[in-house]
Amino acid sequence: MDALAGSLLGWLCLGITVLFGVTVRYMAMRNPVEKANLLVWSLLPALLGLLCLAVLGVGWGLVGLCFSCLLSWGYLGGGALLPVGDRAVLITGSDTGIGHALAKYLDSLGFVVFAGVLNKDGPGAEELRQTCSQRLSLLQLDITNATQVKEAYKKVSEKLQNSGLWGVVNNAGILGFPADGELLPMSTYRQCMEVNFFGAVDVSKTFLPLLRKSQGRLVNVSSMAGGIPLPRYAAYGASKAALSMFSGVMRQELSKWGIQVAAIHPSGFRTGIQGTSDLWDKQEKELMENLPADTRQDYGEDYLLGLKSYLLQMPAYCDADLSPVLRAILHALLARRPHGLYTPGKGAYVPLCIFCYFPLWFYDFFISKMLSLSQGH
């Protein structure tokens, strides 16, 4: 009798595992964005169930398997995506890089896209006109220009009428010239804050009434440098850290309206944010002209001349495939329970963990070694 009961429980364990696996596979097919996570979470119940069976026997093994299935199901339910339907999303900085790729990606999925561009007659805007559907609307939108932000709000409101705006993706940003914080002119600090922080705040505040109507999503594209201190990114990192903190506070404050807020901290991706060689020459000239003689002497000419070569080498260490960032933003826009923070890309999460949970001296040592390896020293 005991053997029969044990056999029945064993078959029951197997049946639950198979049923759960089939369900997860079905969800993965419907939700390719979270496919990797779904597969991982489908393996956990089976592994935990086998462990419980081996250690605790069939009865408690079944209990452990059911419990792990419930936990996994809770996670998978949060990862399920809402249907696109006729949801409308505003994206800033759509001329190039992540914003440009995101506008194409969301348009291909059926979103109504409002692509804000710095230059409505530029090559990036023209490419969007040629390659995207009629659903996509181009908006002349310099986010540091309050008049253009208000005009964009007026155009979006008129087109959507009473349906509301589902998402705002604050993507527009500038890098500035990567150099030691002491060397950077104050104009670089002010420009980074103006674009990366104040511009994003103005766009958010302006469009929040439309997000409130739809109980939609606010997604802020920050940076790995906005979560951890990185040498040569004092101006850029400070502006992105301000944006990340703004995201966290708004996530708490806007939850009562049903608006969900997420910050994206990508690692190094090849987006063209560093600008053109003409811009580098201009920024380098400005930096050199503003250096006091004693500071110039302390750093040395060789070091100062090497700053531009560092900038030129940056693309070689960046990933050209933007799909991890696009998938993270899509999840933030459509997941039933989106994360507050996303860290797409190689090496984005590990340094953040070390910074948060290890002594600072260890983090500093880790970053110095990581940068030395990336620069071939």
Task: Tell whether the model's pLDDT for residue 327 goes beyond 80.
Answer: yes
DSSP-based three-state secondary structure for 171: coil
Backbone angle region of 246, left / alpha / beta, with phi > 0 → left and psi within -120 to 50 → alpha: alpha
Higher per-residue pLDDT: 78 or 200: 200
Alpha helices per DSSP H over 91-140: 97-109, 123-131
pTM of the model: 0.78
Helix/strand number for the chain, H first, E second: 15, 7
Stretch 320-331: mean pLDDT: 90
Record the tokens describing residue 36, joined without a space: 């990797």
Catalytic residue among 153, 233, 236, 363: 236
Residues 6+ apart with CB under 8 A from 61: 9, 13, 49, 50, 52, 53, 54
Are the C-beta atoms of residues 237 and 360 closer than 8 Å to each other? no
Model confidence over 253-294: pLDDT tens digits? 999 999 999 999 998 765 566 555 666 667 777 777 778 888
Task: Provide the pLDDT confidence category of residue 377 given band limits of 50, 70 and 90.
Answer: very low
Do the Cβ atoms of 171 and 95 come closer than 8 Å? no
Tokens 């696009």 appear where?
326
Q: Provide the b/e sequence for 22-59 (b: ≥16 CB within 10 Å).
A: eebeebbeebebbeeebeebbeebbebbeebbeeeebe
Asked whether 329 and 264 are in contact (CB, 8 A), the reply is yes
Give me the mean pLDDT over the 227-246 stretch: 94
Write down the pLDDT at residue 177: 79
Asked about 236 being catalytic, the answer comes back as yes
Where residue 332 falls among pLDDT bands split at 50, 70, 90?
Answer: very high
> Looking at residue 32, what is its pLDDT?
45
Q: Which amino acid is at 361?
A: W
pLDDT level of residue 137 (50, 70, 90 thresholds): very high
Q: Is the pLDDT of residue 40 over 60?
A: no
CA distance 259 to 252: 10
* The pair of three-digit structure tokens given for residue 339, joined into one six-digit string: 């994360």
If you ran DSSP here, which 8-state letter would residue 212 be given?
A: H
Strand runs (DSSP E) across the chain, as ranges?
88-91, 112-117, 137-140, 167-170, 217-221, 260-264, 341-342
Instruction: Give, as one character, the DSSP assignment of residue 199.
Output: I
pLDDT higher than 70, residue 49: no
User: Hey, is 162 helix, strand or coil?
Assistant: coil
**Lowest mean pLDDT segment, chosen from 33-47, 329-343, 360-374:** 33-47
Residue 313 φ then ψ, to 5°? -80, -15
Q: How far apart are the first and last CA of the chain?
A: 71
Cα distances (angstroms) measured from residue 242 to each of 144, 211, 227, 245, 314? 16, 22, 10, 5, 24
Residue 165: what pLDDT? Answer: 96
Q: pLDDT over 70 for what percent of the chain?
A: 70
Q: Taking the CA of residue 128 as centre, how many other CA atoms within 13 Å lie in the half-sphere pointing to its CB?
A: 31
* Residues 59-69: tens digit of each pLDDT: 655 665 666 66
pLDDT tens digits along 355-369: 889 999 999 998 888
Could you give the 3-state DSSP secondary structure of residue 310?
A: helix
pLDDT top residue among 189 and 63: 189
Q: What is the DSSP letter of 198?
A: I
